Amino acid sequence: MSVVVQKYGGSSVADVSKMRRVAERVMQTKKLGHDVVVVVSAMGDTTDELLALATQVTPNPERRELDMLLSAGERIAMALLSMAIRELGGDAISFTGSQSGIITNDRHVDARIVEVRPFRGQDELGRGRIVVIAGYQGVSYRREVTTLGRGGSDTTAVAMAAALGAEYCEICSDVDGVYSADPRVVPATKRIGTLSYEETQELAEAGAKVLNAQAVEFAKEKGIAIYARATSGPLPGPDPSTDGTVVRLNPPRMPGRVVGVAIEKDLLLVESTAPLSDLLSALDERGVAGKQLRHLGSATALIVSRENLHEEARVRALLAERFGDRVHLTDGLGAVSAIGAGINASFENVRLGTATLASAKLHAHDLATSSFRITWTLDRTHLDTAARMLHRTFIEENREVAP
């Protein structure tokens, strides 16, 4: 029998009636004859609320203790969803990340999955049960509870799908797929029917709250098709790209076409003239991961996302103590990126985007490119305007829309 993995995001299980709706959708899938594994996020804004609680207790919560706290959110959701399915007559059993065999490295707060041992889930599927798994968490090889970084339930779902050889992995949320920009910021945005793994990874890395970047990496490695869909919509039909987004190995598009514009809101720029290796070991000591690093001559510029930076006061104090005024931090920054395969084959897109921004007197602190992406670092207050302008230039105006 074919295995299907379905992940439900926090807004889809925000309250008990939504939880029931999810239970119904799970039951429909089961009745079609699939073996169903459900991965669930914490209810609504639970994770943010738990984080806020921690910062009320201390400005520098220990990463290990944060993991103990944050993993509780998904545990609540898994137990309630399992009960809701049973209430509808289904036979469900819930498991924590550790029980379901998600083994991670020993980083706290942004651990990476290193192995999945899915035997317990497989046994239960063999008994005809629906398996409900707490997303976003695992256990390290040192037997510590870990979490996978914000949005990490996607990663749990895809890693499970890969380990079980699932037919597909559905990522269900309150939006019906991946859009060419955040619809709350860019009104003219369009749903993208199909995306390649690389395009999706770049969108996620650039801050689009679509799919977790590590999740897409797993899917790509194992060739798992991801269907991003609305929880309130129908189950996937013969062509799931008509009412959702399908991420899989896709034929290359016309090179140079921008498929999406993404913004990342909260960045910290670290500029340093200290020896590179000293700076990086200090950051490693505190588990700070950089998004983009550049070293030229004796100067280093590093961009850090504040999303998974939980001991910022401690990090700042350490840098000040060790490097004094050789390290300078700038916050209040964000980035806007244009994404598409081969968009930097010539400088045309960089020129066009930069000129578009300059026409509104927006000038980047930093400009960086990769083969899939152009990223402009700007003041946070200008991000929404920048995204609307770039979306208009690259997607609404002159290029055909991605199919």
Residues lying near Mg ion in the complex (CB under 5 A): 10, 41, 47
CB 272 within 8 A of CB 327: yes
238, two tokens? 């013969």
Q: Does 207 bind ligand ASP (CB under 6 A)?
A: no
Closest distance between Mg ion and the C-beta of residue 199, in Å? 24
The residues, ordered by sequence, that sit 6+ positions from 325 with a Cβ below 8 Å of its Cβ are none
Helix%, strand%, coil% for the chain, nearest 5: 35, 25, 35
Q: Which is nearer to Mg ion, 41 or 214 (CB)?
A: 41
Residues 4-23 that bind ligand ASP (CB under 6 A): 10
Closest distance between Mg ion and the C-beta of residue 48, in Å? 8
Q: Which is nearer to ligand ASP, 47 or 292 (CB)?
A: 47
CB atoms within 10 A of CB 75: 17
Q: Which is nearer to ligand ASP, 90 or 151 (CB)?
A: 151
Which residue from 150, 191, 229, 388 is in contact with ligand ASP, where contact means CB under 6 A? 150
Name the one range near ligand ASP by CB under 6 A: 16-24, 27-35, 150-158, 190-198.
150-158
Binding string, residues 238-277; x marks residues near ligand ASP by CB under 6 A: ----------------------------------------
CA distance 12 to 21: 9
Q: Does 29 bind ligand ASP (CB under 6 A)?
A: no
Closest distance between Mg ion and the C-beta of residue 193, in Å? 26
Name the one range near ligand ASP by CB under 6 A: 146-154, 293-301, 312-320, 382-390.
146-154
Q: Which is nearer to ligand ASP, 109 or 362 (CB)?
A: 109
Longest dimension (CA), the chain: 67
CA distance 185 to 380: 13
23, two tokens? 């239970």
Binding string, residues 44-83; x marks residues near ligand ASP by CB under 6 A: ---x-------------------------x----------
Task: Work out the angle between the directed axes of helices 16-31 and 63-87 (0-180°, nearest 10).
Answer: 60
CB 132 within 8 A of CB 95: yes
How far, in Å, are 41, 98, 164, 219, 232 from residue 118 at the CA level? 19, 10, 7, 16, 29
Count, residues in the chain: 403
CA distance 93 to 131: 5
Which residue from 6, 12, 29, 41 is in contact with ligand ASP, where contact means CB under 6 A? 41
Q: Which is nearer to Mg ion, 21 or 326 (CB)?
A: 21
CA distance 304 to 266: 9
Residue 61 contact, options Mg ion, ligand ASP, none, Cβ 5-8 Å cut-off depending on partner type: none
Between CA 360 and CA 304, with CA 365 as vertex, the angle to 5 degrees is 125
Residue 12 contact, options Mg ion, ligand ASP, none, Cβ 5-8 Å cut-off depending on partner type: none
Q: Which is nearer to Mg ion, 22 or 164 (CB)?
A: 22
Q: Which is nearer to ligand ASP, 133 or 364 (CB)?
A: 133
In the complex, which residue's CB is closest to ligand ASP? 153
Which residue from 42, 139, 263, 288 is in contact with ligand ASP, where contact means CB under 6 A? 42
CA 79 to chain CA centroid, Å, is: 24
Residue 136 contact, options ligand ASP, Mg ion, none, Cβ 5-8 Å cut-off depending on partner type: ligand ASP
CA distance 178 to 387: 16
Closest distance between Mg ion and the C-beta of residue 13, in Å? 9
CA distance 372 to 65: 37
58, two tokens? 């201390």
CB atoms within 10 A of CB 278: 14
Residue 118 contact, options ligand ASP, Mg ion, none, Cβ 5-8 Å cut-off depending on partner type: none
**Would you tell me which residues interact with ligand ASP (CB under 6 A)?**
10, 41-42, 47, 73, 135-136, 150-153
